[in-house]
Chains A and B, each alone.
Chain A
Amino acid sequence: MSTTPKNPAAGRDIVLPQDPARLAVAAKGRLRASKWLLLRRVSQALALVLFLTGPLLGVWIMRGTLASSEILGVVPFTDPLVFVQSLAAGHGLIATAWIGAALLVALYVVFGGRAFCSWVCPVNVLTDGAHRLRVRLGIKQGLQISRSARLWALAAVVAVSALAGSIAWEVVNPVTLLHRELVFGVVFTGSLAWMLIGGVVLFDIFAANRGWCGHLCPVGAAYGLIGTASLTRVSARARDACDQCMACYHVCPEPHVINPALKGGEGETPVILSRDCTNCGRCIDICHRDVFAFTHRFDHRTVEPANDTEPKSRPAAPAAAE
């Protein structure tokens, strides 16, 4: 799966830039080097603001929470994982919920399953922050958790729903807990919610790199499964221009997804097809040679490097270390 570094010994000498955005900022300016990140933060803020205009200003755009909601009192949404848990618990659900779940699945098939994670989920803002802090504090050690742990967690969540006959994950789900706390303004009554969310953040800072969102969260895993068919995908279309600066591996929340696309040989697609990719677009921002771009999953074209520069002969680095 991973390409062997051309010069394994050299790997150790590479000092990842303290600020992985340095080269990109130099090449294209701070704004363009954070374009998708900013858009993402706007989108995540909207996922709260649109729910809050109602209670605060009386202008109802979205009602409900991320578990089930309603746009303008017409279009229903139901979180697919909550939906599946309810079915597993033995409730048939009425048409609204079926339509709502189908709409969300369709939406995320188009925009990328885990686009939920990077564009909507409020926990993501916190875990991104936790990651930054971890890097800043220089914490290297951590639990080694399998990336597939979240699938097991997902299976356990559905199994417990079936056993307990109740939508199990909603009792502790940090995603909807946080969203509900914020949207329903019960911020100071739900100490458990804050303990859980604080726990997730501390876990990510001190215990495991990208521990929650990258390895454990069953909600992310469920959206990941939807993402198996995502239409919108990132392509390393200009991969020939890559000079091995490693910035993309450094910022990607799921760095293992980059390798097959970026290091793929002739005839292998440059599209990042892994369901784990969150379509956050941070690699697009951070790449100072504009290797990456959003496209659709069937676009297997590669493009020649935009400018004449040859790939710099930096020593190749080892494949993304976690």
Chain B
Amino acid sequence: MTTRKGTGQGGPSRRAMLTGTAKAVGVAAVFGLGLHTIVAGQATVKAAQALRPPGALADERDFLAACTRCGLCVRACPYDTLKLAGVADEAPIGTPFFTARDVPCEMCEDIPCVVACPTGALDHGLTDITKADMGVAVLIDRTTCLNMLGLRCDVCYRVCPLIDEAITLDMRPNTRTGVHAIFEPTVHPDACTGCGKCEKACVLPEAAAIKVLPREVALGSSAEHYRLGWEEKRKHGEALIQDTIDLPDRGYSPDHVESTPSGGLKGFKP
């Protein structure tokens, strides 16, 4: 945009151009900073809360570098599980996510959402839906879960597509009645895909007692600085330290009660 005055003798127009450029760089920098603030803010604040479609790149930063927010995955999902985030949703605007309590992922064998993704934000290397990692279910409220109250609801366990792998019912004594058992729904993070069918099915009236959370939120980091004696023993085939002196246990006669392999008490009947 040359101004009429500027076209004169070269000198002024050159200066005008230089200050113009400086101004433009300045404004662009301010604009860039603002944009960066918004982008970085959305990525960090919202990343931790959203459940992504199967195959979504695990690192949220990688995902946001790849996802064009096109919604092709959303369109491909036959169960209308996926949604593009609006401003108020838990994912950065326009990115796909799902709310397990509303519509969980049905774990389609052909994973149409991944196939539809044109960018690789959903990793096309995922061909076995049971290897998906959308999150991890956590029995988050142990005070309202009916099984934890000693009832036999079992619904979350029954609906799990990976029943007995991703979720088991672990039995322990009901100390309230003294004669019954509590069948605790126990999720095994290695197998759980985070599909959310358990969360959806939980019979509690509003919020579920079992919820799928993003893996980073759900899990602690494993205690790698600890050696687990029983693991070491298993690997080694026998105890690492031999010939320890086994002193007799006072007042305890192992004839009556035997340990079962899983550690439960054999003599105990629910």
Which of B2, B67, B70, B120 lies in contact with A69, CB distance below 8 A?
B70
Q: What residues of chain A lie closer than 8 Å to B39, measured between beta carbons? A: 160, 164, 166, 168, 171
CB distance B27 to A184 under 8 Å? no
Binds A, one of B86-94, B133-141, B172-180: B86-94
In chain A between 131 and 165, which residues have their CB closer than 8 angstroms to a CB of chain B?
144, 146-149, 152-153, 155-157, 159-161, 163-165
Q: Which one of B4, B20, B35, B64 lies within 8 Å of A160 (CB-CB)?
A: B35
Is the CB–CB distance between B118 and A152 below 8 Å? Answer: no
Q: Which residue of B lies closest to A191 (CB)?
A: B87
Q: B151 at the A/B interface (Cβ < 8 Å)?
A: no
Chain B residues in 8 Å Cβ range of A82? 68
Which residue, A76, A97, A156, A193, has most C-beta atoms of chain B within 10 A? A156
Asked if A16 is at the interface of the complex by the 8 Å CB criterion, the answer is no
Interface residues of B in 150-186 (CB under 8 A from A): none
Which of B7, B40, B75, B119 sits near A86, CB closer than 8 Å? B119
Structural contact, B65 and A160, CB atoms closer than 8 A: no
Query: What interface size band does chain B fall in?
Result: 35 or more
> What are the residues of chain A within 8 A of B62 when measuring CB–CB?
91, 165
The number of inter-chain residue pairs (CB within 8 angstroms) is 165
Are A67 and B65 in contact, with the CB atoms below 8 A? no
Nearest chain A CB to B27 CB, angstrom units = 7
A78-B2 contact in complex given A54-B75, A68-B119, C-beta closer than 8 Å:
no
Q: Looking across the interface, which residue of chain B has its beta carbon closest to that of A162? A: B65
Q: Are B40 and A94 in contact (CB under 8 A)?
A: no
Inter-chain contact B65/A171, CB cutoff 8 Å = no
Minimum distance in angstroms from B118 CB to a CB of chain A: 4
Contact assessment for A78 and B119 in the assembled complex, using a CB-CB cutoff below 8 Å: yes
Q: Which of B29, B86, B89 is packed against the most chain A CB atoms within 10 Å?
A: B86
Contact pattern, A 93-128, Cβ under 8 Å of B = 1, otherwise 0: 110110010000000000000000000000000000
B217 within 8 A of A: no
- The reply to whether A190 and B86 contact each other, CB–CB distance below 8 Å, is yes
Q: Do A146 and B1 have beta carbons less than 8 Å apart?
A: yes
Complex CA–CA separation, A256 to B7 (angstroms) = 15
Residues on the A chain within 8 Å of B88, using CB: 189, 191
User: Does A56 make an interface contact (CB < 8 A)?
Assistant: no
Residues from chain A with Cβ under 8 Å of B38 in the complex: 171-172
B55-85 CB contact bits vs A (8 Å, 1 = yes)? 0000001101111111110110000000010
Contact status B42-A91, CB under 8 Å: no
CA distance A89 to B119 in the complex (A): 13
A79 to B94, CA, bound (A): 15
B25 CB–A CB distance under 8 Å: yes
A161 CA to B35 CA, complexed, in Å: 9
Chain B residue numbers with a CB within 8 Å of A166 are: 39, 43, 61, 64-65
A4 to chain B: closest CB distance in Å?
9
Query: A94 vs B67: C-alpha distance in the bound complex, in angstroms?
Result: 11
> A-side interface residues toward B, CB under 8 Å?
1-2, 54, 60, 63-65, 67-70, 76, 78-79, 82-83, 86, 89-94, 96-97, 100, 144, 146-149, 152-153, 155-157, 159-161, 163-172, 176-177, 180, 183-184, 186, 189-193, 256, 322
